[in-house]
Amino acid sequence: MKTYFFIFLLAFSFAAKGQSNTVNYKYLIVPEKFSFLKQPNQYNLNVLAKALFEDKGFTVYYDNTEIPSEIATDRCRALVVEVEEHNSMFVTNLTILLKDCKGNVVLKSKEGKSREKEYKQSYNAAMRDAFSSFGDLHYEAGSTTVVNATPVNPVQEVKTAAPAPVNQPATATTKQAEALLYAQGINNGYQLIDSTPKIVLTLLKTTVADYFIASNSSTNGIVLKKDGNWFFEYYKDNVLVSEKLSIKF
């Protein structure tokens, strides 16, 4: 129960606390490879960055995939996610930066740290620690409220019309699928297959027990265990959907 409460606060927090800073961006672009890595998505960092921001309500694209025309024709509508590495002996240090189309740093996280010995665990833990400084960061109705993040001045002002008040997203829970899904082990996680067999979901392990980064051909979200049951949670049309799953590991 405590684990889920922590996850819920991390991914779906909407309450404003402390001083806030506002920027008007809905779209984020994550590179397929951060500059300090040798391979695309090494240590699963790029997938993790995309999932963390999507859990905050942003629409996130990889820079090597086809992006919507509204962004392709005007890249200033999106922020680029960059990660800097400042490692020291026995400590992994990562900082997350959000930059605009001119290379200006709009938001900067704290320096996330990890002393894990295994590289993948260390980089993932440092990324999550850095991301935690964004606090109640989330996208809502054309503006992004940032709490406990480190604003970088000067922040370029983007003038937009004032959005109409929007209530917090409602939660829609779908019915449990009748088909049992079988967990098949893969590198870094599992793939859930039905009796066809067809791959229904891909699960990537995290540092939190019973909590996976999940994706299929059309949706990205998380799969987690609550009260002995598995749920696939994701956003659809700005509504949080919690879909109950039947999984056999």
Q: Is residue 242 part of a domain?
A: yes
The answer to whether residues 96 and 209 belong to one domain is no
Are residue 132 and residue 49 in the same domain, yes or no? yes
Domain assignment of residue 59, given as a range? 8-151
165 assigned to some structural domain: no
CA atoms of 40 and 49, how far apart (whole Å) = 13
Within a domain: 59: yes
State whether 101 and 193 are in the same domain. no
Pair 56, 107 in one domain? yes
Find the DSSP H helices in 60-182.
69-72, 119-131
- Residue 117 maps to which CATH number? 3.40.50
Domain boundary residue, one of 100, 121, 151: 151
Nearest to 107 by CA among 156, 152, 153: 152
**Domain termination residue (choose one: 151, 180, 209):** 151
Residue 181 maps to a domain: yes
Number of structural domains found in the chain: 2
In a domain, 164, yes or no: no
Question: Does residue 180 share a domain with residue 98?
Answer: no
* Residue 78 is assigned to a structural domain of this protein: yes
Query: Are residues 38 and 114 located together in one domain of the fold?
Result: yes
Q: Are strands 220-226 and 211-215 parallel, antiparallel or unpaired?
A: antiparallel
Establish if 22 belongs to a structural domain.
yes
pTM for the full model? 0.51
Tens digits of pLDDT across the chain (249 residues):
545 544 544 444 433 333 344 456 888 999 999 999 999 999 999 999 999 988 888 888 988 777 788 787 888 889 999 999 998 888 999 999 999 888 999 889 999 999 998 989 999 999 999 999 887 776 654 444 444 455 555 444 444 455 555 555 555 555 555 578 888 888 888 988 887 778 888 999 998 889 999 998 888 999 999 988 999 898 888 888 888 999 988
